[in-house]
Amino acid sequence: MNQQPTGKMTLKLALVGGGRACKFFLELVSLGNLPYLQIDIIGVCDINPEAEGFLMAQQLGIYTTTDFRDLFALKDLDGIIELTNNRDVLVELIQLRPPRVGILEHNIGGLLRNLFAVDQKLRSAEQQIVFEKAIRDFLIQQDQQCIVVINTDFTIEAVNDAYLKATHKKRDEVIGAHCYRAIHGRDAPCDGMHNGITCPLLETLRTDKSTQMIHSVPIDDTSTFHDIMTYPVRDSSGKTVRVIEIWMDIDREISSRWKKRERELKSDFNKLIQEDRLISLGKLVASCVHEINNPIQGLLTFSHLMKEMLAADTLADTDVSKLRKFTGIMADELERCGKIVTGLLSFSRETHRVFIDINLNEVISTVVDLIRHRIELQDLYFRLDLTHEPLFVNGDMNRLQQCFLNLVFNAIEAMGPGGRLEIVSTRIVDQRVAEVEIRDTGHGIPQKHLDHIYDPFFTTKAMGEGTGMGLSIVYGVVKNHQGEIKVHSEVGKGTTFTIQFPLASSTSGDGQ
């Protein structure tokens, strides 16, 4: 706020959000200002240049922009009123604002309207006193930010409910108390440096200007960090008579943004898994085409033979017997093709994550069915050794399939013809865990790369042969299932991945 020679204060504001609320503010200000306060709207921002408030601002000759960052360059800007009711926009404004530029929320519209209504009734010599009270009441009603009004003798004149809620104090405990005692529990004013941080109140009294800094505020047995913005309040002669402090709880804001980011990362991880699933599906289709083609060729041969037999006027007993044999073979081959297609469709389908008790051996068997032909084409020795009793773990079937499929594909791609692939499941009774080992005799992983194999986009394959996301997804899936993954590798000898998952209550007995 700036003091004019007449004693009238000027408040220069910008509006973010050019819709109906913006138009209301512009109309409200155009009706006339308060005796001791001149409100000037000097800028309007909206991403929609056709918004009604945006257009009205242009007609009034007010600066307009579609990027709120441009508002920060406006000369003598005192504050910005956020009218979009968008929490993310409010947070970004607070983070990017220049020093001494305050941020007010959208809900001040009704309060400003009340201030102008009060102005119509205040035409006496006591008008300034009533106005100051209205200003104070207006600030105190803010419910998202802590507001503290402090006199120059360090006594607290007023606080809002948000402050009382954040500090777990009662109003009568703080009103009239010295700020250094009520806020910091000290017996004397801060000497300008409190825990290495300048006191914002003293800085404002010293410079007669707004101050912004981060402060640690003790609340109960802990300390929370607040972004504190101070504003001097002057009388008609221009002398600072009190200071308004506006607190923003950084801890809460960081926690809120962290939770939002966590949700975004989970969503991104789900999309990444589906994309990786489609990549794996492409590899499966390439090998399954050969596996399906063989029975199709057999079906075609049998159909020609049956056609020739049926072309005869009569069928010999031997022909009938052959037809029965042919139809039996054809039914078996068609069933095999159907299972292959069903497995591919099931694997490719995007489903919601559902954790249930599932048999880990069945998950592995399904993966083996999908890649068995790839193993045969590459002429690998394959050993599958699963426990005789089921190994129930709590998990998501599709995620676990993707996990094991990535590991098996990596093992196959690391070996040439004649390599050895082993998948072994074990129940470790004393630890209550199910363990799966996937061993290969491939080229192995150099020691210098072992610490990075789970890093996103890390790959030692040639360009175009791998995305570098396979093992990252494996690691994420294992951790999401409360599991552990270990790797042992020797260059030229091969690699063993060991995965452990907690056993579900469905698993009983000693097992293998």
DSSP, res 98: P
Matching CATH topology for 1-141 and 268-502? no
Report whether 166 contacts 249 (CB < 8 A): yes
Burial class (CB in 10 A: 0-12, 13-18, 19+), 463: exposed
- Beta partners for 203? none
Instruction: Write down the pLDDT at residue 438.
Output: 95
- Beta partners for 499? 436, 485
CA distance 274 to 464: 19
Instruction: Write down the pLDDT at residue 39.
Output: 80
Nearest Cα to 233, choosing from 157, 167, 181, 169? 157
Residues contacting 3, CB < 8 A, separation 6+: 9, 10, 234, 238
pLDDT tens across the length of the chain (512 residues): 555 455 556 788 999 999 988 888 888 777 665 555 678 899 999 999 999 999 999 999 999 999 999 999 998 888 898 888 888 888 888 888 888 888 887 666 556 656 655 555 554 445 455 545 655 565 556 666 788 888 888 898 888 888 888 788 888 888 888 887 877 777 777 665 545 557 888 888 888 888 877 766 666 666 677 778 888 888 767 788 888 888 877 766 666 666 666 666 666 666 666 556 555 566 566 556 655 666 676 677 667 777 777 777 677 777 777 777 778 777 766 776 766 666 556 555 555 567 899 999 999 998 888 788 788 888 899 999 999 999 999 998 888 888 898 899 889 888 989 999 999 999 998 889 999 999 999 999 888 888 878 776 556 655 445 545 567 778 888 988 999 999 999 998 999 999 999 999 765 544 44
Q: What is the secondary structure of 158-215 as a DSSP string?
A: EE-HHHHHHHT--HHHHTTSBHHHHTT--SS---SEETTEE-HHHHHHHHSS-EEEEE
Where does 1-141 sit in CATH, by number?
3.40.50.720
Give the torsion sign (CA, 281, 282, 286, 292).
Answer: positive
* pLDDT tens digits along 185-202: 777 776 655 455 578 888
* pLDDT tens digits along 471-512: 777 888 898 899 999 999 999 899 999 999 999 976 554 444
Nearest Cα to 404, choosing from 419, 424, 429, 390? 424
Q: Is the pTM of this model over 0.85?
A: no
* Residue type present at position 243: V
Query: Do the strands 9-16 and 79-82 form a parallel or antiparallel pair, or are they unpaired?
Result: parallel
* pLDDT tens digits along 354-408: 789 999 999 999 888 878 878 888 889 999 999 999 999 999 888 888 889 889 9
Distances (CA, A) of 488 to 267, 405, 437, 439, 440: 32, 19, 11, 9, 11
Three-state DSSP at 145 gives coil
Instruction: Write down the pLDDT at residue 383.
Output: 94
For the record, the structure tokens of 207 come out as: 């410079």
* 268-502 placed in CATH 3.30.565.10: yes
Residues contacting 450, CB < 8 A, separation 6+: 487, 489
Instruction: Write down the pLDDT at residue 67.
Output: 92
- Whose tokens are 């699933």? That residue is 277
| Helix residue ranges, H only, 224-359 | 250-311, 317-348
Report whether 214 contacts 228 (CB < 8 A): yes
Q: How many CB atoms lie within 10 A of CB 186?
A: 14
**Percent of the chain as helix, strand, coil, to the nearest 5:** 45, 25, 30
> What's the number of CA atoms in the CB half-sphere (13 Å) around residue 385?
12
CA distance 376 to 373: 5
Instruction: Write down the pLDDT at residue 321.
Output: 78
Report whether 359 contacts 399 (CB < 8 A): no
Give the torsion sign (CA, 261, 263, 266, 270).
Answer: negative
Instruction: Write down the pLDDT at residue 125.
Output: 43
**What are the residue ranges spanned by the domains of the chain?**
1-141, 268-502
Instruction: Write down the pLDDT at residue 476.
Output: 81
Three-state DSSP at 432 gives coil
* pLDDT tens digits along 449-479: 888 787 765 566 554 455 455 677 788 889 8
Residues contacting 30, CB < 8 A, separation 6+: 60
Cα angle value 228/234/156 (rounded, 5°): 50
